[in-house]
Structure 1
Amino acid sequence: MATEKLLPRDQVPEQLKWNLKLLFESDEAMKAALQKTLQRVAEFTQLSGHVGSSAANLLAALQSDKLINEELEREYVYGFLRRDSDTTKGQAASLYGEVANALSQVSAKMAFLEPEIVAIDETELVQYLADEPKLGEFKFMLTKIRQQKAHILSDKEEQLLGRANKSLDAADDIYNTLNDADLDFGMVHDDNGNGNEVPLTHGNRSQFTESQNRDVRREATLAYEKPYHNLRNTFAQTLNSFISSQNMQAEVRHYQSGREAALSGEQIPESVYDTLVKSVNEHLPLLHRWYALKKKVLHLDPFYKYDINVPLAGQDLLKTTFEQGKEMTLDALSVLGPDYVAGLKHEFNERWIDAAENKGKRSGGYQVSVYTANPFILLNWTDKLYSTYVLAHESGHAMHSYFSQQNQPSEYADAPIFLAEVASTFNENILTDYLLEKYANDKQALIFILEQSISGFVGTIYRQTQFAEFEHQAYQAEQNGQTLTADYLDQINGELVNKYYGPAVTESGTITQSWAYVPHFYMNYYVYQYATSWAAATALSQGVWQHDDHALENYHKFLSAGGSDYPIEILKQAGVDMTNDQYLVRAFGVFEKRLNEIEKLLRA
């Protein structure tokens, strides 16, 4: 599917694009639906000042809030996906802006709900629950809101913050527009040795950085870093603005820090974050051993950062087209049973996926779900095995949404981020086990697959924890009055890069790129959850793959639970306790086993 020249959106085959008619027939239909939702919001505001006056009013408010959120989700996601399909199209950007602006207005108008729920007397609320059985559905939701009592502001203050949401989120929108629509990485030489030049993009970068030709990967790496370095002050300002807004909101809501604010809503102890960083730092020697092995096998001294992704197998094996990737994913994940396979077939056959890279399309990959419709997946396919891993990863998100939506009311259907990444990285682990079994007699394929697994572990546990350390230091510095300039961010990032990469790797290019290119820094303490999730998923996937008693049954319960309980409790029920470091110790045990296996194959 990879092409030398990016196609405009209208020339991409329909079967490679998501079907947004599953949401609305047209932009006009979405706009009409949005106006009806806004009218519903106007009716909802009549409950202001009366939410807690009776069980009937409380139920009416919660049911109306639920319906409005379902409708807004469908409308917002439609605009969001239209924009991300081609960020250069003014019409799509305008449509997204319209629905985002409406969402901000709605947030302000409905902000009275939580303060009024918090204000209900405890004895009175117990009586309401006894008098009105239909309130039972919302009991956990009410508990979560009331547990945040110390951090919910007055009606007017909540309205003010709700009205300011669009401005407070502006840094994220500016960053994404700059990163996806405006950056130009220029032309680089292809890997065919014929002197041809091709445009470098977010999507095809990995093809060049994994090249056996050192000149090709160096040229591509430096070209990719250049615009980030040239705009380093702008990127620093957007990140400073975002972190400042998050810290401000945390302070206004009476939290001690931005991290406490980010973790408290789902009752995640901050010790989980600190335990992750501590455990990963204790296991850095394994990562350094991996880099030293690559340096030795590849006979590269110095071993630069742009040499890290060269496959030890000597070539890029197991390339897969999009169709082949779907078949491989379906086969590997069949271990999860017929219901899971049926869900995947819906995803693959009903155009829930936008697969091909095109001009202006948002980079990377993600999944977003719509309770009243289905999940949607964005990919930028490159025919590399890596793309199949991304498909398996995002399909894990999609099936998590799919099963939660089938088993939970909409207010509990979305799993919190702390759980969401478990389902996605679980699939990556299963895909690795499947491939290792399938190619058990092919030495070169095994080396390639083991490296994919090790690279996934490095990228998800080590790299994301490195990012988490950087993020937390940046938040703390800003809270203490430090302006996050490009020089300051380069300084703290550089220290972490040297610590994580270790003595075998020689730095090259600019360290600005390794913090400026990370969109997840605009998701407010998101990145650490990749690492905790991968470690938890390692334990869960091992149980399912080895057919341990009740492992599959417990995992399906996890998929169906959505956000119906606190994440720590849902994972405990699935068999993983995140309140100590044992799940991390087990995960690093698997990593060390993979490292031992590839060392043995390379010696043979």
Structure 2
Amino acid sequence: MGYNKEKNIMMKSRNQERRMWFLPRQGNMNRNKKNIPKRSEVPFQWKWKLEQIYETDKHWEKDFSAIESMLEDIEKYVGKLGNSSQCLYEALNLSDHISRKLENVFIYAKMRKDEDNTVSKYQAMTDRAQSLSVAVHSRLSFMVPEILSIPEDRIKGFLKENEKLTLYTFYLEEILRQKSHVLSKEEEQILAQVGELAAAPKNIFGMINNADIKFPTIRDEKGEEIEVTKGRYVKLLESEDRRVRRDAFRALYSSYEKQKNTIAATLNYSVKKDVFYARVRKYESSLQASLDGDNIPLSVYDNLIEAVHGHLDSMYRYMALRKKALGIDELHMYDLYTPMVKAVKMHIPYQEAKQKVKLGLAPLGEEYVSLLEKGFTEGWIDVYENEGKTSGAYSWGSYDSPPFVLLNYQDSIHDLFTLAHEMGHSLHTYYANHHQPYPYAGYKIFVAEVASTVNEALLMEYLLNHIKEENMRMYLLNHYLEQFRTTLYRQTMFAEFEKIIHEKVEKGEPLTPELLCEVYGELNRKYYGPEVMIDDEIKMEWARIPHFYNAFYVYKYATGFSAAISLSQQILKEGAPAVDRYIGFLKKGGSDYPIALLKGAGVDMTTAAPMHDALEVFEKLLNELEKGLQ
């Protein structure tokens, strides 16, 4: 899940990303069972081992109580941070100690809940952990305003005289950079207390989307009834039977249509929350407020959208090729996921997927591959779908725990790449946690998508180089182009949607279901072009995108993808020097600003060049696929 600074208060930004692949079958487990198994029916070897955080829930309770006790200790530093370098160091160290323990408490509760969202015990524990986060943030909220009240010369003097305090040099510099957007001590305390209310839209949507919404059954290719789920959805859209694709498409969106007023109100207030925080912190817009946290220029966001607009002709060509390859008179939105290359089946059981990932990532070196094996064998991964389990996939963990991975593995090519993707996140976290002190291990989301997508790109290159059968190669090219479509084009469309709806709220316009559908429908027309029939149902897609509740998050998929394509090509062409730069980037965690970290790895994101380079690769792949399908 995307890091939300207003929700995961005072918790350092570990990799808390979710990538939502909607995938179908049950993989190796219970392959013929139509109904999703209960959590208790999933064999232990397919479950992550959260006992590596807390052996039992009682241990969680012990840490929960310890944090409450430690909050009293922070009071003795209030009003005294500028007294001495030692006092400032002790306060910062205590803050880290509390935050580090809070990470374990929050993440354990939330991940237990994600195993099965219907379990009331873990719903309650997650709520308590969130309330504790608010309490911690409230108690610690005096620190930044008080540090800002200390003369800058005195802080520099503290850093010179106290060797232990030098650990916090970058942290203090970052505070001073954002000085104009930090409020008074009293105002920061008020904002801290609002934190739990601010999380309400996202939490409400999560319960609607993961627990309450129900989808109808349809008939599959064999005429048998099958329940549509978020986990099965894309697999149904991949069906060669167009009737199945259409029925799944309509079944999914008819369920969201019934909830459109509630979800529109939820999204409206989520955006209002973003605008509220931006205004009280004296930003010109919610977009500027969001990007400033990563010290990202507004031009990066605009460059992305403009670069993709400049290459929409390639997407229109791709849609025309899809229409021709499928042999249909009208290309509908439910036709976008079915393979263009017929008679190719890639069934990849989980055990085989692990081996392919290791082979594909061999260019990153023996150490990297050995860490992959560690993750595969030491209980990092929760593999299969079960009732109530949070959909999609993510990598998440605390500084003290392994970087866990949630999957809903279904034996498809999508799952293979999702495994590589999430392990990219996890190994980025592992390297950062083992080479950076706690304050700097957590990296920004802007760079978080790079490691995951480098893994996907390297895996694709491996598969393309080792599969000689022409139809299979065309299938993989189709899949690779789909990565560009869904990650670079589609996420940029999402980013433009977010920009538009935030600007409308900033101008005082309400986000009604009709307005949201109108904006979303027009963007689909712009991005997919004249060859695609924009079905009315797709106008409701905004209602099912969890990322919209983490404002201006999705553009980082597209920028990260662009950077990753460049880095993967450098790794394959240069070998060891590029690998060393890249592993060095992983080890640096959040010890510098994202733009600087990426420059060190070999990519300059202050220019539009990485986006244009990636889009040119898309065009090159498209040329090859067009020739192959003639």
Structures share fold, TM-score greater than 0.5: yes
Asked if residue 569 in structure 1 is aligned to residue 601 in structure 2, the reply is no
Secondary structure of the residue aligned to 2:353 is helix
Which one of 22, 40, 43 corresponds to residue 13 of structure 1?
43
CA shift digits 1:281-332 (9 cap, x unpaired): 0000001100100101111111111011111221452211111111111111
TM-score in terms of structure 1 length: 0.98
TM-score (norm 2): 0.94
The structure 2 residue matched to 1:247, chosen from 275, 285, 299, is 275
Q: 4+ residue runs of structure 1 moved beyond 3 angstroms?
A: none
Question: Is the Cα–Cα contact under 8 Å of residues 209 and 221 in structure 1 kept in the other structure?
Answer: yes
* 1:470-527 CA distance string (max 9 Å, x none): 0010001001101111111111111101001111111224234321111001111100
- Partner of residue 232 from structure 2, selected from 188, 192, 204: 204
Which amino acid is the alignment partner of residue 125 of structure 1?
A: I
Would you say the 8 A contact 1:229–1:512 is kept in 2?
Answer: no
5+ long unaligned stretches in structure 1: none
For 1:208, give the aligned amino acid. Answer: L
User: Which residue of structure 2 aligns with residue 337 of structure 1?
Assistant: 365
Specify the alignment match of 1:510 in structure 2.
537
* CA distance, structure 2, for counterparts of residue 394 and residue 315 of structure 1: 29
Q: Deviations over 1:165-202 (max 9, x none)?
A: 110011000001100111111111123x2x21111111
The CA distance in 2 between the partners of 1:330 and 1:44, in whole Å, is: 46
* 8 Å CA contact 1:366, 1:377 repeated in 2: yes
My pick for the range that moved more, 541-550 or 385-394, is: 541-550
The alignment partner of 1:25 has SS state of coil
Matches within 5 A, 1:247-286: 247-286=275-314
Q: Give the 5 Å matches for 1:374-389.
A: 374-389=402-417
Q: SS in structure 1 opposite 2:487? A: helix
Distance 1:308 1:126 in 2: 57
| Amino acid in the other structure paired with 1:253 | R
Contact 2:202–2:549, Cα closer than 8 Å, also in 1: yes
Q: Please give the secondary structure, in 2, of the residue aligned with 1:546.
A: helix
* Contact 2:521/2:534 (<8 A) preserved: no
CA contact under 8 A between 2:457 and 2:565: conserved in structure 1? yes
Pair 1:599-2:629 in alignment: no
The residue matched to 1:255 in structure 2 has which SS?
A: coil
2:162 alignment partner in structure 1: 132
Contact 1:79 1:96 in 2 (8 A): yes
Q: Which residue of 2 aligns with 1:368?
A: 396
Match of 1:415 among 443, 447, 465: 443
Q: 2:578 and 2:419 mapped to 1: Cα distance?
A: 24
In the TM superposition, what whole-angstrom CA distance separates every residue of 1:424-481 from its partner, at most 9, and x where no partner exists? 1111111110100110x21111011111110011100000000000001000100110
Q: 2:193 is matched with which residue?
A: 163
Q: Which secondary structure does the structure 1 equivalent of 2:629 belong to?
A: helix
**1:45·1:110 contact (CA, 8 Å) conserved in 2?**
no
| Pairing partner for 1:60 from 90, 104, 109 | 90
Aligned with 2:395: secondary structure? strand
Secondary structure of 2:615's partner?
Answer: helix
Percent identical pairs in the alignment equals 37
What does the per-residue CA deviation read over 1:69-95, in whole Å, with 9 as the maximum and x for residues that have no partner?
111111110001011110111111111
Distance 2:576 2:379 in 1: 36
Q: C-alpha distance in 1, partners of 2:555/2:278?
A: 19
Structure 1 segment 280-295 matched on structure 2, within 5 A: 280-295=308-323
Matched, 1:101 2:128: no
Shift of 1:213: 0.3
Give the equivalent residue in structure 1 for 2:555. 528
- Is this contact kept in 1: 2:518–2:539, CA < 8 A? no
Question: Does the 8 Å contact 2:325/2:341 carry over to 1?
Answer: no
CA contact (8 A) 1:228 1:512 kept: no
SS of equivalent residue, structure 1 residue 357: coil
Does 1 or 2 have the higher relative contact order (CA < 8 Å, sep 6+)?
A: 2
Aligned length: 600
Is 1:323 the equivalent of 2:351? yes
Separation in 2, partners of 1:181, 1:16:
22
**Corresponding residue for 2:179?**
149
Q: How does 1:359-508 map to 2 (within 5 A)?
A: 359-439=387-467, 441-508=468-535
Question: Are 2:551 and 1:538 aligned?
Answer: no
Q: Does 1:80 align with 2:110?
A: yes
Q: Does the 8 A contact of 1:189 with 1:198 survive in 2?
A: yes
Q: Tell me, which stretches of 5 or more residues in structure 2 are unaligned?
A: 1-25, 28-32
In the alignment, which of 142, 148, 157 is matched to residue 118 of structure 1? 148
Q: Partners of 1:559 and 1:40 in 2: how far apart?
A: 33
C-alpha separation in 2, matches of 1:96 and 1:126 = 40
The equivalent of 2:611 in structure 1 is: 584
CA distance in 1 between partners of 2:576 and 2:306 (Å): 32
Q: Is the 8 A contact 1:333 1:430 kept in 2?
A: yes
Q: CA RMSD in A?
A: 1.0
In structure 1, distance between residues paired with 2:199 and 2:472: 45
